[in-house]
Amino acid sequence: MKNKKLIGFHITTKYGLSNIVLIANKLKIKAFSLFLTNTNLINKFLSIEEIINFRNNCKKYNYSSDQILVHSNYLINLGHPTTNGINRSRYLFFNELYKCKQLGLKLINFHLGNHLYKIDITNCLIRVAESINLALNKFSDIILIMENSAGQGSSVGFNFEHLSNVINMINDKNRIGVCLDTCHAFAAGYDISNNYYEVFDKFNNIIGLKYLKAIHLNDSKNKCNSRIDRHTSLGQGMIGSKMFKWIMLNNELNKIPIIIETPPKNWINEIYWLENLIKNY
* Interaction site with Zn ion (CB under 5 A): 181, 216, 229
Query: What whole-number distance in Å separates Cα of residue 275 and Cα of residue 249?
Result: 10
Compute the least distance from the CB of residue 54 to Zn ion, in Å.
22
Nearest to Zn ion of 57, 114 (CB atom): 114
Compute the least distance from the CB of residue 72 to Zn ion, in Å.
11
Nearest to Zn ion of 151, 235 (CB atom): 151
Q: What residues have CB less than 8 Å from 19, skipping those under 6 apart?
A: none
Return the C-alpha torsion angle 239, 254, 136, 97, nearest 10. Answer: 80
Nearest to Zn ion of 18, 96 (CB atom): 96
The backbone region for 235, taken as left when phi is positive above 0, alpha when psi lies in -120 to 50, beta otherwise, is left
Query: What whole-number distance in Å separates Cα of residue 219 and Cα of residue 54?
Result: 30
Query: What whole-number distance in Å separates Cα of residue 268 and Cα of residue 272?
Result: 6
Q: Report the run of H or E that residue 90 belongs to, with start and end.
A: helix 83-103
What number of other Cβ atoms are within 10 A of residue 201's Cβ? 12
Compute the least distance from the CB of residue 149 to Zn ion, in Å.
8
Q: What is the DSSP letter of 109?
A: E
Nearest to Zn ion of 229, 270 (CB atom): 229
Nearest to Zn ion of 124, 260 (CB atom): 260
Compute the least distance from the CB of residue 23 to Zn ion, in Å.
19
- Give the pairing of strands 231-232 and 219-220: antiparallel
Of the candidates 127, 136, 137, 128, the residue with the CA atom closest to the CA atom of residue 176: 136
Compute the least distance from the CB of residue 190 to Zn ion, in Å.
14
Nearest residue to the partner Zn ion, using Cβ: 216
Compute the least distance from the CB of residue 128 to Zn ion, in Å.
17
Compute the least distance from the CB of residue 181 to Zn ion, in Å.
4
Residue 74: phi and psi, rounded to 5, are -65, -20
Compute the least distance from the CB of residue 147 to Zn ion, in Å.
5
Query: What whole-number distance in Å separates Cα of residue 139 and Cα of residue 93?
Result: 11
Of the candidates 74, 86, 80, the residue with the CA atom closest to the CA atom of residue 150: 74
Q: Quick check: helix, strand or coil at residue 166?
A: helix
Nearest to Zn ion of 18, 188 (CB atom): 188
Nearest to Zn ion of 115, 216 (CB atom): 216
Nearest to Zn ion of 110, 196 (CB atom): 110
